[in-house]
Amino acid sequence: MERPDWAPTGVDPTVPSVARVYDYYLGGSHNFAADRTFAAGVLRALPGMARVAQENRAFLRRAVSHLAALGVDQFLDLGSGIPTVGNVHEVARAACGPAARVVYVDHDPVAVAHGRALLSDDPTAAIVQADLTDVEPVLAHPIVSDHLDLDRPVAVLLISVLHFVPDAADPAGILRRYAAGLAGGGFVAVSHASSEGVPAAEDAEAVYNRAGSPHSMRMRSAAEVEQLLAGIELLPPGVVRIPLWRPDPLDDVPVDAATYPGYAVVARVEPG
């Protein structure tokens, strides 16, 4: 049964939250026992899960730096989770200087309350509580229009979040509508969990799809990820395993990169 509109969601510390579980993977302490218990179940299925989260953070850093080099200084981070260390506005400010503008979007009220406290003194970054699948309301949100000029290029970041959007919600359509909303064009950066060639990742996916999970998960193959971006121009190297997306020259590419349980891609949106 559908919950009534006014019922509080995500504020119960005894129920795990996607954002706090992710924080735990990243070694943070912004989490409660229920989050850690759930995360432990995932880690049993896929012990490398913590590293997966770290590689996602590393991809986020590389992607934001690359996009800054392409002239982007506005970022819309959808499904941002708890904006802790290594977050977009810090990376963006390092890469773009003080002109960088960032808006985070998450539906988790605790993550948003945390983000609001963290960003309260920062005029260049803000957080909006919204469901990223509500495309038009998100783009029309006053905080978004206060911080971002959609007539100039904007990078939409969907880091480790689209696998929480089921097929029934039409993730490809959601991407198309975000792209259509970028009047001044820009980019879409996506990282996505995948069990392709990684049987253990299937077990992790199953844990997310069990009762007691904060959210169901739909991992996708490289072809499916490419399908999500159909009609949008992919930047080289296209859809690749996350560590292989434009690695830093100085960093060693992990030997197991080819069986890393996730894909990354960045695409260019032409001005509307």
Partner 1 sequence: MTDPGRLAAAWAEAVRGTSFVPLRLGELRSLLHRLTRDLVAAAEGADPASAEKVGRALVEAHFTNPESLRRTIVVIGDQVPGAVVAALAAGYAQALQDRTLLEQERITSAAVTALREAQAAEWQTQARYRAVFAEAHFGISLADVDGRILDVNNTLCRLFGYSPGEFRGRDFTLFTHPSDDPAIWQRVADMVAGRVDRIRTDKAYYRADGTEIWTDLVLTLIRDVDGAPSVIVAMLEDVTERRRLEGRLRHQAGHDPLTDLPNRATFYSRLAADLAAGRPVGVCYLDLDGFKEVNDTLGHGAGDALLRVVARRLRTGADPALVARMGGDEFIVLVRDEDAARTEEVARRVLDVIREPVEIDGHIVTVSASAGVATSACPVVRDVQRDPADPAAELLTAADTTLLWAKGDGRDRCAVYDPHRHRAELAREELAAAIPEALRTGAIEPHFQLLIRLSDGRPCGAEALARWRRPDGTFRSPAEFVRLAEEHGTVGALGQHLLRTACTHAVSLCLPDPFVLSVNVSAQQVHDPDFEAQVMDVLDGSGWPAAALQLELTESDLMETGGRPLQALTALAGRGVSIAIDDFGTGYSNLAYLHSLPVTVVKLAGPFVGDPVNTGLLDAVITMAHALGLGVTAEEIETAEQARVLRDLGCDTGQGFFFSRVHPPHELAGALGLPTAAPTSG
Looking at 83-91, 98-106, 135-143, 224-232, which segment touches partner 1 (CB under 8 A)? 83-91
Contact 159, 60 (CB under 8 A): yes
8-state DSSP, 218: -
Nearest-angstrom CA–CA distance, 262 and 254:
14
Compute the least distance from the CB of residue 38 to partner 1, in Å.
15
Please give the torsion angle defined by the CA atoms of residues 13, 17, 22 and 24, in that order, rounded to the nearest 10 degrees.
Answer: 20
Return the residues of window 11-50 that contact partner 1 according to CB under 8 A: 11, 13, 20, 23, 26-32, 50
Choosing from 71, 85, 121, 223, the residue that interacts with partner 1 (CB under 8 A) is 85
Binding of partner 1 by 54 (CB under 8 A) = yes
Q: For residues 41 and 243, which CB has a smaller minimum distance to partner 1 in the complex?
A: 243
- Cα 14 to chain centroid, rounded: 24
The reply on whether position 93 binds partner 1 by CB under 8 A is no
Residue 91 · residue 116 · CB < 8 Å: no
- Choose between 89 and 218: whose C-beta lies nearer to partner 1: 89
Q: What string marks each residue from 113 to 152 as x (binds partner 1 by CB under 8 A) or -?
A: xx-xxx----------------------------------
Q: Work out how close the CB of 250 gets to partner 1 at its nearest, in angstroms, rounded to a whole number.
A: 4
**Does position 159 bind partner 1 by CB under 8 A?**
no
66 touches partner 1 by CB under 8 A: no
Distances, alpha carbon 247 to alpha carbons 90, 137, 195, 225, 243, in Å: 20, 35, 22, 20, 6
3-state secondary structure of 140: helix
| C-beta of 28 vs 185, nearer to partner 1 | 28
Residue 159 CA to residue 155 CA, distance in Å, equals 12
The single residue among 10, 41, 48, 186 that binds partner 1, judged by CB under 8 A, is 10
Binding residue (CB under 8 A) for partner 1 from 16, 57, 161, 266:
57
Q: Is 211 in the site for partner 1 (CB under 8 A)?
A: no
Helix (H) or strand (E) holding 102: strand 101-106
**Residue 255 phi, psi dihedral angles, 5° rounding:** -65, -25
Are 186 and 157 in contact by the 8 Å Cβ rule? The answer is no
Residues in touch with partner 1 (CB under 8 A):
1, 3, 5-11, 13, 20, 23, 26-32, 50, 53-55, 57-58, 82, 84-86, 109-114, 116-118, 248, 250-251
